[in-house]
Amino acid sequence: MKRLVVGARVLRGVDWKWRDQDGTPPGVGTVTGELRNGWIEVNWDHGGANSYRMGAEGKYDLQLADEPQPTPPPNTSGEGSDTDTPSPAARPGRSGLAASLLQALGDEGDSSTAKRLREEIEQLEQQEAELREFHDQEEDDEETMEDEGPTRKSWEDDYVLKQAFSALVPAFDPRPGRTNVPQIQDFEVPPPGSVELNSGASTALPPPTHQGVKLALSIRNGESEILLEDGSRSIFYYVQLLHTSQHRTDRLRRVWDNTYTLVYQDRHSPTSRGWSVQFVSRNLGTERLPKGDLVQYLQKRAKPSWLKKWKLQGSTKSIKKNKNCPQLITAYKDFCSSEAHSLAGAMRQVTDTDHLAPLGDCLALLRKLHSLSNQGGEPGFEASPEEFHSKKLVNKLIQQIHDPLSLASGALPDWCHALCSAYPFLFPFEAREIFFNCTAFGTSRSIIWLQRRRDDVLERLRGSTPRKEDQHELQIGRLKQDRVHIPRNEDTLAWAWAVLRTHAERKSVLEVEFVGEEGTGLGPSLEFYALVAAELQQRSLGLWLCADDAPDDLAREVDIGQGLKPPGYYVQRSNGLFPAPWPQDSADLPRVSRLFQVLGMFMAKCLQDGRRVDLPLARSFFKLLCTPGREAAGGETGGEGLGGDESTQGPLSNRNEESEPNQPVSNRSPSPSPGTPDLPAPDPSENGAELIPVGGAGSKDAGLLLAGAGEEISKDGRGKEEVVLEELPAGESPSETPWFAGILGLEDLVEVSPFRGKFLAQLQSLVQRRDAILGDPSLSPSELARQLAALTLPAHEENLPGVHLKDLALTFVFEPSSKVFTFSSHPLKPGGDTIDLTTSNAHEYYQLVEDFCLQTGIRHQLEAFKDGFDQVFPMEQLQTFSPYELQLLLCGEQTPEWSREDVLAYTEPKYGYTRESAGYQRFVNVLTEMNADERKAFIQFVTGCGSLPPGGLANLHPRLTVVRKEAHSLFVYPSVNTCVHYLKLPEYPSEEVLKARLLDATREKGFHLN
């Protein structure tokens, strides 16, 4: 491959499939462009030109043509004509200059000078040959290491550093002869159960370890310099930070008016912070740190007044003579303290928000008012959500995300993330959705979002004007689409595990095609997501809460993906799906946790690729996803840190970072942020959380405030272990406190498990009455005993007497509500099966049951869910939405509703139908009369998903188009192109026939040409 350069001669190779593009008969061509993304340009001798695969898709279309080796010129001197040995001047591989010199020396005969020059030339040639051989060997080694795995590339002066985006392919160039890499590429997925899949999704080798000097990278502007400590931050972020930390007069200049220098040096060399005091104290005066180096450093960095104070002005030689090591160490300690003070002052200019305290009070008041409005408000207080929106903040946020450099480099101001997460009511849902889509999924997706927004603006400005041919030059690239092929069979979840596990960390779009079917594009992909969503709702899996004694109120015969299933096959509950608690030492827990990991990757992929999925999760489950728990808010323990790859845009939680003792830290990036105010903590009544992060998102000493108070709470920074399903034994806790601690409460348990939740609520009321009796000092002992004995739970019917706890014969044991769970009981505490429930221990009982149902019993499942979700993008990005908004983003409108007017307004009859056609009017009438299940089946048939986007048919794009399909009998069925919502409908004679044929078509599975 190293010989495949511009000018090389090539001919068709082993993987050639391009017919006679190289001429008839096959000829030879010349390489005219460099190898790029596995493709190379060739001009053929017969006049044609095109691009061919040389590594792309694992194929090699070309091979080097075998050129004849040049022969030495014939010997015309007449001497030595009977031998094949070439003359010294004509030796192959000899440079023209060397040949000319030897030819000239040959005329001088055997003089001593000529002999000496010949020997020197031959020695130089031998050294040149050895160097060339060594260079070729180095290139071979580098090429071999590139094939085997990642390696370190040697520096070259003409090597151009470019940012590579793994999810982007070069922008399409329509001009003839240009290289165009296919946007859709096949992605190989190991089949379920294969060795490659079981060994892990990542096949990349670990980064090589190199022995040598460790470098530190910093950025400098004049006398100011900042160390680039956070590898997840872009250079532009530090440019902004450096610019903001300058003097006020300098900050008025534009960012790029200054010159910034990147400095790399030995970590033990002085940076802007200098050597450590310990290093200077140990090594000053030795070879590691001569006195002259320290003096020169201080003279370069310190102010003249400081140098005059310590008498360090003058020549280095005189200072070395007059100052001993202890004096220089003392001076350096003073310099470090003053330098640290100066740096702290600069950082205070960035993060000091004392003058913004009224802003924090205002935000806290707005949050309280918004909470009151959500709860119905006080008498006389009414406020709509629109009244809390800040138009100025919305405009400022939109302005920030339309800055291409800040957005693509992840250098948005931290207030954007902080306000959207902590005070989402300040922004309308549409603005937060835009912010989420352009920041949550990594740099590649941000670039694509910017390009699409710019194209939309250009289209509006251009109107009917034809598109310019050079517009493609403004494009950085296109979003890559990975196409996988899977069989349509009963192993849907196994294939989903294989596909999602291997594709989770990729930022390209996932497209699915079914083996043996012609369908391609959006339709089959949505069908795959719908099938996986249906399989995850199976009752037999034991994932969700369900009850045998109280059948699901929505249980019915239904087809949601795998054909018509009987009542009870799926978990169908009006209050939605919520994880069922399991003993954390159960043998079935690894299987259940693995399915929740699949669910996490599945939901994150749906959000990343913009795929709606009909998954009826409970509101409390969405509450877990978009609400920070105690851990995220700085509770007792830290949490799982988030990686710094391209999926991390801006400041995200970094709970793995260790903090110093008694040093409060923020749950965001440790680097100071340009201009981030400290913000008051959100109200716990907003979304059920008691604590959430506050303060500058990038400020390490921002602190965490108790809701409604000014008490700072520190966090010890302990991180939880990664959930590995194959290695984590059942019952072993990955951390002491789960990430979702403190989010859900008794009201959520009443919602997801009404029978058990209402019983616990009654038990809680009984405990409160008991405490009130015990706290009444006016009661005599006999009256106290009588009232305690009279405590009962209310009966199901009003006319019946209450029930005493002892009559229930309950113990401290949790019993599941269905036989699909493979355990019959679980003690809530050691020896719980021998402890009876009484009024004296009722408080402990309902706390243990609530804790098992909402925390300890679902711990492994939710840890695995978050582990799978975070492989796609950080789940903390969802905190900008409410549970209802998140449900709309993921699932759309799960109960499609429309009126006759909606169908007429938002469907388009074409090609054989008009709005007055009898066949189209029958179609409108049939759609209007459909029940809920039939509507879901119809939407699944025409769009690939059983739910509509938020807003219903009005927001379905492209619009549902109905065209006439030619039919010679009544047994021709409707067909559809799901990608463009294109329904081909025969004109049936009656509404009854039309409805029967349409519903029959919705029950058919598969994508075939029609």
DSSP string computed for 408-440: HTT---HHHHHHHHH-GGGS-HHHHHHHHHHHS
pLDDT of 430 over the 90 cut = yes
pLDDT of 23 over the 80 cut = yes
Annotated catalytic residues are 979
Contact 603, 869 (CB under 8 A): yes
Higher pLDDT among residues 649 and 371, named by residue? 371
Res 425: pLDDT: 93
Q: How far apart are CA 346 and CA 674, in angstroms?
A: 11
Q: How confident is the model at residue 592 (pLDDT cuts 50, 70, 90)?
A: very high
Res 181: pLDDT: 76
Contact 416, 397 (CB under 8 A): yes
**Cα torsion angle, 144, 146, 152, 157, sign:** positive
Quote the pTM value.
0.68
As a whole number, mean pLDDT of residues 751-770 equals 93
Q: How far apart are CA 985 and CA 513, in angstroms?
A: 25
The residue type found at 988 is: Y
> Which tens digits make up the pLDDT trace of 605-646?
999 999 989 899 999 999 999 987 544 444 333 333 323 333
**Cα torsion angle, 87, 90, 93, 99, sign:** positive
Contact 851, 746 (CB under 8 A): no
Q: Distances in Å between the alpha carbon of 615 and those of 394, 524, 535, 625? A: 32, 18, 10, 15
- Helix, strand and coil content of the chain, in percent to the nearest 5, comes to 40, 10, 50
> Which tens digits make up the pLDDT trace of 803-857?
888 889 999 999 998 999 989 999 999 999 999 999 999 999 999 999 999 999 9
Q: Pick from 482, 581, 598, 458: which is nearest to 535 by CA?
A: 598
Rounded to the nearest 5°, which phi and psi values hold at 257? -75, -20
| Order of strands across the sheet that contains 509-514 | 184-186, 481-486, 509-514
Q: How far apart are CA 481 and CA 231, in angstroms?
A: 28
> Which tens digits make up the pLDDT trace of 569-590?
889 888 899 999 999 999 999 9
Token readout for 364 is: 């806290």
Contact 942, 978 (CB under 8 A): yes
pLDDT of 657 over the 60 cut = no
Rounded to the nearest 5°, which phi and psi values hold at 108? -90, 0
The residue type found at 16 is: W
At which residue do the structure tokens 């000092």 appear?
A: 777
CB atoms closer than 10 angstroms to residue 304: 9
Q: Pick from 984, 966, 970, 973: which is nearest to 910 by CA?
A: 984
DSSP 386: G
Q: How far apart are CA 481 and CA 887, in angstroms?
A: 26
Contacts for 945 with CB less than 8 Å, ≥ 6 apart? 526, 529, 530, 611, 612, 613, 614, 892, 939
Res 723: pLDDT: 32
User: Among 200-209, 471-480, 552-561, 711-720, which is the least confidently predicted range?
Assistant: 711-720
Contact 616, 533 (CB under 8 A): no
Tell me how many degrees the CA angle 902-904-910 measures, rounded to the nearest 5. Answer: 140
Higher pLDDT among residues 917 and 271, named by residue? 917
What percentage of the chain carries pLDDT values higher than 70?
69
Burial of 752 (0-12, 13-18, 19+ CB in 10 A): buried
pLDDT of 480 over the 60 cut = yes
Mean pLDDT for the chain? 76
